[in-house]
Structure 1
Amino acid sequence: MDVSLWSLLIGPLTEFGFMRRALVGCLALSLSCAPVGVFLLLRRMSLTGDAMAHAVLPGAAIGYLIAGLSLPAMTFGGVVAGLLVAVGSGLVARSTVLREDASLAAFYLISLALGVLIVSTRGSNVDLLHVLFGTVLALDNGALALLVGTAIVTLLALALLYRPLVLECVDPQFLRSVSRLSPVAHYGFLCLLVINLVAGFHALGTLMAVGMMVLPAAAARLWVRSLPALMALATGLALAASVTGLLLSYHVEWPTSPAIVLCLGAAYLASLVLGRNGLWRGGARSARRHLQR
């Protein structure tokens, strides 16, 4: 390989420890967040993922208030806050005239405002930026262990719950009528969503973590239809965008988390135009079907 090409693409990832650690963290996030994002997409819950990403903020902020930038405290607080918002919005939807999307929006707006208030009043601007946009280039051993552990737990849980999750995406009423696994699949998936958002929060920040879920899944859906291919392609796109974003942030000196999410956004926009089910090819097929009628 040409020396200049090596220094441009490979050198930063092999010569610097912080780049290697960021690469491992992004690999773990890609393996866990992208498959969860596929099920979010199929269940029409993409905006729910965005709401939950904001909902973990006050718990993480309270953990920060108690113990500073402590990984265990912020992780525990984020998981508790996310689960409380998920369960609370469901209970409100079942007990009042409000639908679940309205109650979830109300909870997440309150959570976001409370979390930003706690961090901004009791910490510095640097702390607030750390919470909102993450520090993927400063991952330590504890954060890497959390990301890798989350990826392992997520993949094992998805393997165990694969069939009921697929059935719930296709026909939740049928699953409830023939199996007792419906609540296990539903609440188990919400737990996976929360722990992945909390893990992504430590690397990419609250405002960017959900991008690792939604954008790869949406881009992959424009190319393939089968679920296994969808999960594999989404994971591949997430990893490719992570590597590209890391290299861009190194060479151009951009913030890393936004650079990664913008690379995911570029992949989505390209898929939207060029994908098999995108505007160009999909639109051409629709026009042909219309003329045939």
Structure 2
Amino acid sequence: MTLDALLVAPFVDYGFMRRALVACLSLGIGSGPIGVLLMLRRMSLVGDAMSHAILPGAAVGFLVAGLSLPAMGIGGMVAGLAVALLSGLVSRGTVLKEDASFASFYLTSLALGVLIVSLRGSNIDLLHVLFGTILAIDGPSLYLIASITSATVVTLAVVYRPLVAECFDPGFLRSVDGRGSLYHALFLVLVVANLVAAFQALGTLMAVGLMMLPAAVARLWATTLPGMIGFATLVAALSGFIGLVVSFHVSLASGPTIVLTASLFYLVSIVFGRGGLARRILSRPRFVG
């Protein structure tokens, strides 16, 4: 098999593969920077919790319009923002920390969403909701993903400095600006929006995969924040491309293959990345007795 037939032909011959590739590239551009900021804020598990929090809204969208990705995406957006708001209120009004309140709401949301889908859907419908249908991405769904990515890039360009400041020293930002909570809320909106976009392709269980795994890879290679953002975006895009090619030729589920490809990048980075295991072992001082 020639290189052209291996890497190019699937996207030339099949429209669904082209749409899936565009969706992956768009997700990489939007989710890459968000994942890096989440990681630097030590909120990686919050991102995972939020990816499950959108399930009840997606389930309601499924009940109303069936497997309509735009309807499920809008429902997921509403549910995710509601969970983010409620978690913030609980963490500020009780002794619970934000991560504990997110975890509590995420477990409730996951159980409620599965219950709603199971009431009227089949096991196949539930699998589509949980694991996504990236090869079934249609025009409206692609427009929704592209719109969320565009809004994310524009918003990050406008509020990049305060978001970074709030990321590293939220107390300082509140003291000099007074709008730290506003920027934090805006960031959570961007997180939910990009998880909704990823849900269109990867389902609720793996929506956070293209957000956090490339960010972790970038942290092991890049030394600056812009470098980490660019590296994470590149890894996410490459994971989508390679995962689609492998799933096409080997007849595997596309969503899990894409996330496992990103996981492979992560494992390689753990060993060979900057500060990885290989460098630590080689740089360890040796004493000759």
The interval holding the TM-score normalised by the smaller chain is: over 0.9
Q: How does 1:1-293 map to 2 (within 5 A)?
A: 4-285=2-283, 287-288=284-285
Q: More deviation in 89-98 or 222-231?
A: 89-98
**Would you say the 8 A contact 1:136–1:256 is kept in 2?**
yes
Q: CA deviation at 1:284?
A: 4.2
Separation in 1 of the partners of 2:68 and 2:241?
Answer: 27
Q: CA deviation at 1:150?
A: 0.8
Q: CA deviation at 1:76?
A: 1.9
Per-residue CA deviation, residues 238-283 of structure 1 (Å, 9 max, x unaligned), is 1111100000110000100000000000000000000012112145
Q: CA deviation at 1:18?
A: 0.8
Q: What is the aligned residue count?
A: 287
Per-residue CA deviation, residues 158-180 of structure 1 (Å, 9 max, x unaligned), is 11111011111211100110013
Q: CA deviation at 1:48?
A: 0.3
Separation in 1 of the partners of 2:180 and 2:93?
Answer: 20
**Would you say the 8 A contact 1:164–1:181 is kept in 2?**
no
Letter of the aligned partner of 2:25 in structure 1?
L
Separation in 2 of the partners of 1:11 and 1:271?
Answer: 30
Letter of the aligned partner of 1:106 in structure 2?
S
Letter of the aligned partner of 2:171 in structure 1?
Q
**Would you say the 8 A contact 1:54–1:111 is kept in 2?**
yes
Separation in 2 of the partners of 1:244 and 1:169?
Answer: 32
Separation in 2 of the partners of 1:162 and 1:241?
Answer: 26
Q: CA deviation at 1:80?
A: 1.0
**Would you say the 8 A contact 2:134–2:202 is kept in 1?**
yes
Separation in 2 of the partners of 1:283 and 1:230?
Answer: 24
Per-residue CA deviation, residues 74-101 of structure 1 (Å, 9 max, x unaligned), is 1221111101111111111111122211
Per-residue CA deviation, residues 104-152 of structure 1 (Å, 9 max, x unaligned), is 1110000000001111221011111110111111110001001111110
Q: CA deviation at 1:207?
A: 0.9
Separation in 2 of the partners of 1:230 and 1:213?
Answer: 13
Q: Secondary structure at the match of 2:2?
A: helix
**Would you say the 8 A contact 2:76–2:196 is kept in 1?**
yes
Q: Secondary structure at the match of 1:205?
A: helix
Separation in 2 of the partners of 1:156 and 1:281?
Answer: 38
Per-residue CA deviation, residues 228-247 of structure 1 (Å, 9 max, x unaligned), is 11000110011111100000
Q: Which runs of 5+ in 2 are unaligned?
A: none
Q: CA deviation at 1:103?
A: 1.3
Letter of the aligned partner of 1:266 in structure 2?
L
